[in-house]
Amino acid sequence: MSEYKYKIILKKTDNNIVNTIYEKVNKIHSSNKLWLVNSLKTFVFNHLKQSLYQKKDIEEIIYKYGIQKAIQFFVLNKKYYDEIMELIEHDENELIYGIAFNIIFEYFEFRIIEH
C-alpha cells in the first residue's frame, strides 16, 4: 500500500524572494497537510522579517503586485485584514509585512505525492 504525502509546489518563478524560499523548502514532505501549511506560513513570514531584506524590498513586492489591488484585497477585505493583524500582532507599523506575506504565500500550493 502506498503512502501519500503533501509537497510544496511553486506556481510561478517570477519573484526572487519566492525562489529563495522555495529552494529551502522544496524537499519537505508531510502526511499532515495542516502542519505543512502552517510551517510554510511561519517560515515565509520569518524569512521576510530577516535583516537580509530592507523595507524597500518588501515594498517592492507590494508595488509589483499592485498597490491598489493589495489594498483592496488584503486591507479592505475584513477576513484577510484580521488574519494579517493577528500575524503581525496588531502592530499597524508591520502591516506591510503582513501584506507582503500574503502576496508571497500565493506563489505556493500543496500537492499530494506518492511516497
Domain boundaries, the chain: 4-114
Section 39-57 average pLDDT: 95
With CA atoms as reference, report the closest residue to 103 among 67, 50, 52, 51. 67
pLDDT tens digits for 53-66?
A: 999 999 999 999 99
**pLDDT tens sequence across 66-93:** 999 999 999 999 999 999 999 999 999 9
pLDDT number for residue 109: 97
| For residue 44, pLDDT beyond 60 | yes
Query: 13 CB contacts (<8 Å, ≥6 apart)?
Result: 19
Question: To the nearest whole number, what is the mean pLDDT of the chain?
Answer: 94
pLDDT at 19 > cutoff 60: yes
The pTM for the full model equals 0.91
